[in-house]
Every structure is written in C-alpha cells, then in structure tokens.
Structure 1
Amino acid sequence: DVNGNKMSKRLGNGIDPFLAIEKYGSDPLRWYMITNSQPWDNLKFDVAGIEEVRRKFFGTLYNTYNFFALYANVDGFTFKEEKVADEARPELDRWVLSLLNSLIKDVTEAYETYEPTRAGRAISEFVTENLSNWYVRLSRKRFWGGEYDTDKVSAYQTLYTCLETVAKLAAPIAPFYMDQLYCDLNLVSGNESDTSIHLTSFPKYNEDAINKELEERMDIAQKVSSMILGLRRKEKLKVRQPLAKIIVPVLNANFRKQFEAVESIILTEVNVKEVEYLTDATGVIKKKIKANFKTLGPKYGKLMKAVSVLVNKMSQTEIAAFEQNGSFDAMIEGEPVTLALEDVEIHSEDIPGLQVASEGAITVALDINVTPELRLEGIAREFVNRIQNLRKDSNFEVTDKIILRIVRHPELNEALDKFGDYIGSQTLASRVDLVEELNDTQTGKLVEIEKGIETFIQVEKEIL
C-alpha cells in the first residue's frame, strides 16, 4: 500500500481493482501502475496517484485535443491541404516535430527492451511539458483569427501530427482512450484507412527530422523562461505586467548565437521588452561558489577538503572563466585536478533594481523596475484578461465580434486612452467606447483591474 505494507485481508489495506476502474477508468489506472514503477518492482499503490495521472496526463491531452478541435472546426481544417514542407515551417513547428521524432525513437527502444515505464514517462513528459505547456501556449495566437495562410495550416498540421502520433505511441498502455482520440481525429481527416488505432502500424521515426541543435536552443528558451517567471513570482509581478529588460551574461559565441535565435520566444513568454547581453559580467553580477561534496567525495576522496578550500577562494574572474570553459584545472598537493561544473554550486547575488537567477552555467538578471509607461501597458493587459473572461461568461463564440463600453476611472483613463485600440484588437471589439456612466438600458459588470481599483465593463455581441 501507500505506506509500503504488503496488501492483505488481515491488514484490510487491499484495493478492489474493479471499484478503482469504475471510479477512475481502466486506462488511468493502468497508466499509473506502469509509469510509477517497473512491472517487476514493488509498487506503493496510492489512489491519489491515479487521480493525479488522470488530471495531469489524460486531462492535459484532452484539453490539447479540445483546443485543436475548437479552432480546426472554426477554420474548417480537415488535413486536405498539401503538407507544408519542413523548410517552410516556423522554427517552433520544426522543434516540436524534432522532439516528436526523438520521442518515437526513445519509446520504440523502451518497448523493444521491455521497459514500458520509461516509455510511459517519456510520453507523459512530452505531452505535459513540451506539447501543451510550450508548443500550444506559444502557438495560440496562430490559431486565433487571422488569415488561413501557410503559417496557420502548418500549425494545424503540426498539432494534428503530434496528437495522432502520441495516440499511437501510448496505445499499448492506454488502449481505450487512445483509440477514441485516434478515431476522433481520423473521422474528420480520413488520413488512415484503419478503423481502429490497434490496426495501424507503429510510428517510425525520421532521423532527418531530428535537429539536436534546435532542441538545445529551445531547451535554453524553456530554462531561461522558467527562471524569469520564477523571479516574477518572487517579486509578485504578474506576467501581464511588462518589464523593461533582462540582462544575460554571454558564456561564449555559440551560447549567444543560440540565445539570439530564441530571443523573441523568451521575450514573448516572459513579457519583457529587450535583452541586454554582457560579455563581461564580473563587475555587474556577483556570484558565490561552493563545493558540491556529493560529486567531489567519490572523485577526490582525501583531497576533497583541499579542493573545497580552493573553490571557496575563487575570485569573480575565476568563477566567470570556470562557467565559460565548463571546467577548472588546478594543482592540489602536487596532483592535477580538473573540476567540472557539476562539482560546484554557483549562486548569484541580487543587485538593487535587479533580481538574479542561475541554473547550471546560465545566469539571467531581471530588471524589476516598473516605469509609468510600463504600468499603463500592464493595466491594458489586465483589461484584456477581464474582457476575455466576460466573453467566456457570456458564452460568446471565439469568432464573435463585440462592442465594448468601459466606464472611465481616474486611475485607468490614461491607459484606456493610450491602449484602447490594443484592447479592442485583442478582444475582437469592433468598437471601444469610454463612457462616464452606463445608461439604464446597458448592463455592465463591476470588475477589479488592480487592487482597490474597479470599474464597470459592458460587453455586447455585435449584430451584423
């Protein structure tokens, strides 16, 4: 059981499998048991784990399909267009397809070596971390509105391919759910003649589609974005509040090249205006370094204490060189020693007006100063969020145009005057009226924009 005790009638800690299947479904139960531990290992069975699997993996996959189906139905996408060539696809599409082919390769190897646990975990990570939390989130605006052009077709084809392939990869573990997903996709596209996923061929990876350099670049984007969002949470700065810049120490020419290739993605994701690159950060960002005894002990044994003293005495210049080179050479008690980055822990100190974060060799500093201009833009983004919620509460279709009426407020007027067009474009409002008050025939809703600052907003569906 969850406490590590053997299930038995005497202890009364057994689980009725049929009741568990009835409550949670057979596929979530099977997925939980297979991904939680290898089939030949003991399993600390916890029903809360089934619920987590159902929510995190199956729920995320369901929401991703729902997102695709919603906009595909609006645009009439049925995969009848000619397949967009790889070179014509945006980098984000090529990245997720590269990861998808890497996934096919890894999952195939795992199944063939009788390691279903490794296969299931790899599929889960791809769906939750890469497909839903990164690709779909960064591609949302490509599906919303706009022309039905090559870029939008590429987005639809890419997401369809990912969903269909994930269904085939996961079918051995979750046969019922994945068969339903496959049938729902294929019913519209007719891409496959097989009526069930269990009659189709298992996916084969395309080595030419795997681009490790592209995967590394996007990994930098994910790490840096996560670091900056963590700094925002620390400072209680909403992502909707734009910030001026991030400062990034340049490790080497290749790092800068990789970072610049994903710069726009990072800035969009964390809502920051620009990146400032530092070729020499020693006078700007101060770092602390200490030994990592977990790795030093097995490597250097009796020299570990002397190595620790050496690490603690490193100057800012030596720390910077260590990070850039990825290693540090020294002589200790007459013996040559080569330290790797994993042998130390490097932390950055915060600077007034900046928040600093480090992960491995990557360091980033976030300018947390909110200027009056940035605050106004932040207010406009808050309005967009509230209006989108009102659209949803009113059960409007995603394509419905609206007319907006917003009651003026001394704390909000400047932002509304300056960013009224932006608010209208983001909410599909053909007209944004700023009024002193709503008349008797107009029903509005009192909405809080900032703490203690409220105003009335009225959303009306435009009748064409």
Structure 2
Amino acid sequence: MSYVLAPFTPFLAEELYHNLTGDKESVHLKDWMPAGRVNELVVQDMEQVREYVNQALSLRAKERIKIRQPLASVTIPTLGEFVNFDDILTEELNVKKVIQGSELSLDLSLTPELKREGLMREVVRHVQAARKAAGLNVDDHIELSLTVAVAKDGELEKAINEHERTIAAETLTDHYVDNPDGFDTTVAVDEESLRIQLKKSSK
C-alpha cells in the first residue's frame, strides 16, 4: 500500500512504510514488487475474504437471521494486506464493524436499534415491491403513506418514524401523505400488518 501511495501522498506513505516494516530506507527508493506477485497476493486475499463471507453467511442461515438484518460485528482471524477486508465484509455480511480475533464468529445479539434497522430494511423491500406492482418506472418519484394496521409491540411504527428519511431516499419518496389515491396493499412485517399506499409524485 505504501508503494501505491508514495507518488500521491509522499509523507504519509513514508511514515506508513517505516512504521510497518521498520526499514530505514525511503519507500521512494524501493523497487516495485513484480506485478505477477502482487496479483497473486490479491487473489489470495480475495479467496480468503470470500471464504470468510461464505462461513459467516452459513452462520446467519443456521440462526435464521436474514441478511437484511444488520448485525453489530464479525470477528475474523486475519485481515487482508492487499484487499480491504473491512469494506467487503461490512457490505456482504451487513455488519457494522470487523474485528480481528482468534476465529471467525458473528455477534448475533440484536439491540433494539439494530432490530429497528432490520425492520426498516423490510419496509423498504415491501415498498419497492409495491412500486413494481403499481407499474412504476425505477426512476419515478412517489408520494407514500405507511400505516401500521395491526401492531405487536410498537417497534415497527417506531422503526418507520426513526428511519423515515432513509426509507424516503431509498424508495424515491418525495412526500409522506395521508391516504394517497393510488396503489394500495397490506403486507406482514415481523408479525405486524403494514398498509402501503402510494402514487406517482406530481413533482
């Protein structure tokens, strides 16, 4: 990484190189590693991170936790040297952070905040399905109403209120309105009944 950074951020690259290797010679005087060797190491890192993803997804499936449900963290034995494992694992596994530890594991405990974020993801999925059923184009903006018709514990409504901006952004909602005259459907979300009403925005 220091080799790549050197032409663009020379001082940062120099500091990183000395801290990581202990070599007193300047990184700017070093020869580049042969391209074939770099490619081989990148491939090895990618194979390793893919194995971590597969193992963690298997753990999710075993515990019956959907991928749309965010989790706090994943712990893995090694971090990539040539590939950014953090970005790949947080995206592929829907976790908040990556921790290095002795063996691969998932933090399966769900805080109320994580649970509500998972509910929000379910709402977004159902609204997207409703958009498609209504015959809207993928770039059509909408007016939307979300009503929890049968509440279990109030968490679904709380999740909607807490994440209304994210729901709006991901479903191209311009306005939340009461009873828009358009497509109307009711779906089940975590044993609660959610009524979705939407129409194409006049904006």
**Is 2:98 the counterpart of 1:275?**
yes
CA separation of 1:276/1:266 partners in 2, compared to 1, >3 Å: closer, same or farther? same
Within 2, Cα distance between the matches of 1:427 and 1:370?
25
CA distance in 2, matches of 1:243, 1:231: 12
Q: Tell me, yes or no, if structure 1 residue 367 matches structure 2 residue 107.
A: yes
Q: Match for 1:455 among 166, 175, 194?
A: 194
Query: Following TM superposition, by how much is the alpha carbon of 1:221 offset from its aligned partner in structure 2, in angstroms?
Result: 2.2
Q: Which residue of 1 aligns with 2:23?
A: none
Flag structure 2 segments of 5+ consecutive residues without an equivalent: 5-34
**Alpha-carbon displacement from aligned partner over 1:400-435 (angstroms, at most 9, x marks no partner):** 1111111145341210111000011111111234x5
Counterpart of 1:455, as a letter, is L
Contact 1:221 1:259 in 2 (8 A): no
Residues 218-257 of structure 1 aligned to structure 2 (within 5 Å): 218-250=46-78, 256-257=79-80
Do 1:420 and 1:432's aligned partners in 2 also have CA atoms closer than 8 Å?
Answer: no
Overall identity of the aligned pairs, in %: 30
What residue is the counterpart of 1:258 in the other structure?
81
Taking the aligned partners of 1:425 and 1:388, their CA distance within structure 2 comes to 12
Contact 2:46 2:83 in 1 (8 A): no
Q: Which runs of 5+ in 1 are unaligned?
A: 1-86, 88-206, 251-255, 282-362
Once residues 72 and 156 of structure 2 are traced to their aligned partners in structure 1, the CA distance between those partners, rounded to angstroms, is 21
Distance in 2, Cα, partners of 1:462 & 1:415:
24
Alignment TM-score, normalising by the size of structure 1:
0.33
Higher RCO structure (Cα 8 Å, ≥6 apart): 2
In the other structure, the counterpart of 1:413 is: 157
CA RMSD across the alignment:
2.3
In the alignment, is the contact (CA less than 8 A) between 2:76 and 2:99 conserved in 1? Answer: yes
Report the Cα distance in structure 2 between the residues aligned to 1:258 and 1:378, rounded to whole angstroms: 32
Deviation per residue, 1:266-293 (Å, 9 max, x gap): 1111101111112xx3xxxxxxxxxxxx
Distance 2:41 2:202 in 1: 50
- Does the 8 Å contact 1:386/1:447 carry over to 2? yes
Distance 2:72 2:83 in 1: 17
For residue 184 of structure 2, the aligned residue among 424, 433, 444 is 444
One-letter amino acid of the counterpart of residue 402, structure 1: I
Give 1:246 shift.
1.1
Residue 442 of structure 1, CA deviation: 5.3
Of 166, 176, 182, 1:432 maps to 176
Is 1:378 the counterpart of 2:201 in the alignment? no
Change (3 A) 1:425 1:373: same
Q: 1:260 deviation in Å?
A: 6.6
C-alpha contact 1:448 1:455 (8 A) present in aligned 2 = yes
- Between the aligned partners of 2:169 and 2:57, the Cα distance in structure 1 is 26
User: TM (normalized to structure 2)?
Assistant: 0.73
Q: Distance in 2 between matches of 1:383 and 1:219?
A: 34
Indicate the structure (1 or 2) with the bigger Cα radius of gyration. 1
Shift of 1:368: 0.7
SS state at 1:258 partner = coil
What is the CA–CA distance in structure 1 between the aligned matches of 2:124 and 2:183, rounded to whole Å?
19
Cα distance in 1 for residues equivalent to 2:40 and 2:60 = 30
**Hey, what's the Cα distance between the residues in 1 that align with 2:59 and 2:82?**
19
Once residues 242 and 223 of structure 1 are traced to their aligned partners in structure 2, the CA distance between those partners, rounded to angstroms, is: 20
Q: CA deviation at 1:259?
A: 8.0
The letter of the residue matching 2:135 is N
Contact 1:404 1:458 in 2 (8 A): yes
After superposition, the Cα gap between the structure-2 partners of 1:459 and 1:215, relative to the gap in structure 1 and judged at 3 Å, is: farther
Q: Deviations over 1:137-168 (max 9, x none)?
A: xxxxxxxxxxxxxxxxxxxxxxxxxxxxxxxx
